Amino acid sequence: MKEVRISGIIRKMKEAQIVGVFPTPVYTSQLGRELTSLELKFVEKNKKIFIKNAGNTTSANNYILNEKPFKKLKKELQLRVDDYFQKVISSKNNITPYITQSWVNYTEKDQYHHKHTHSNSLISGVFYINCHKSLDKITFFNETHRTIKPEVKNWNLFNSESWWFPVTTGDIFLFPSSLTHMVETKQGENTRISLSFNVFIKGTVGSNHDLTELILD
């Protein structure tokens, strides 16, 4: 309770609360270990076999987590996906999230990763293999259309049109695939290397009784 003066009379008023309804879940974690020399050599090998992206380059292999050198890494990332799915989706259906496509991004100085979303996917993730701990970040965007846009004095989670997170080597981010995101122009001399992946589900969704059942094998 706090005291407020209304028409010269001091009254007690309960503290107001603002509740974020339908917040966007962005999951952050750390791998908790350094990549092995075998894994790092595999990353460098794929840097030579690339395709040009809008602003940077990506590995030509778009299922790179299925390769033998990344077998352990895939299991570790899948554990984070399972954790996200349990905490955020919390489904009573017998469904399992699994990693679909995965690829490595290579971003040199003055390159960037364009603003985008991930189609045909429920959850997307990124694992930072190498980055500059004080310069690199990932930015997410609120694409909700606003007809009135007053100038903002103090930015917060409710009035921001974008929100960024600093990133360090070993960081893992998971978020809805429909959430628009980008990585700004690379600063510093090192190569920013990240591994991106998409997640879908298999099993039975919905209810046979309610005529909403969908079987995904």
State the CATH number of the domain containing residue 55: 2.60.120.620
The predicted model scores a pTM of 0.89
The chain-wide mean pLDDT, for the chain, equals: 92
| Higher pLDDT pick, 123 / 54 | 123
Cβ distance 95 to 205 under 8 Å?
yes
Residue 175 predicted with pLDDT over 70: yes
Q: Name the least confident of 2-11, 12-21, 98-107, 196-205.
A: 2-11
At residue 40, the pLDDT reads 97
Of 189, 164, 195, 193, the C-alpha closest to 179 is 164
36 lies in which domain range? 32-146+160-216
Q: Calculate what percentage of the chain has a pLDDT beyond 90.
A: 76
- When divided into structural domains, the chain yields a total of 1
Query: In whole angstroms, what is the distance from residue 42 CA to residue 12 CA?
Result: 65
In this predicted structure, the answer to whether residue 203 has a pLDDT above a threshold of 60 is: yes
- The answer as to whether 153 is a domain residue is no
Inform me whether the pLDDT recorded for 6 exceeds 80. no
pLDDT of amino acid 4:
56
Q: Is 179 inside a domain boundary?
A: yes
Region 148-162: what's the mean pLDDT?
Answer: 89
Query: Does residue 25 sit within a domain?
Result: no
* Residue 37 predicted with pLDDT over 80: yes
Q: Please tell me the least confidently modeled range out of 7-11, 155-159, 191-195.
A: 7-11
What does the pLDDT look like over 87-110, one tens digit per residue? 999 998 889 999 999 999 999 999
d(CA 48, CA 70): 18
Classify residue 12: in a domain, yes or no.
no
The answer to whether position 14 is within a domain reads no
The two three-digit tokens of residue 133, written as one number: 């701990």
Read off the pLDDT of residues 112-121 as tens digits, 9 standing for 90 and up: 999 999 999 9
- The pLDDT assigned to 54 comes to 86
The verdict on residue 105 lying in a domain is yes
| Residue 205 reports pLDDT greater than 70 | yes
pLDDT of residue 11: 65
Residue 171 has pLDDT above 70, yes or no: yes
Residue 9 resides in a domain: no
Query: Could you tell me the sign of the dihedral formed by the alpha carbons of 136, 140, 145, 149, in that order?
Result: negative
Buried/exposed 154-189: b ≥16 CB within 10 Å, e otherwise: eeeeeeeeebeeebebbbbbbbbbebebbbeebeee
Say which range, 97-101, 187-191, 195-199, has the weakest mean pLDDT.
187-191
Nearest to 109 by CA among 190, 179, 34: 190
Considering the domain boundaries, does residue 134 fall inside one?
yes
The residue among 76, 74, 80 whose CA lies nearest residue 100 is 74
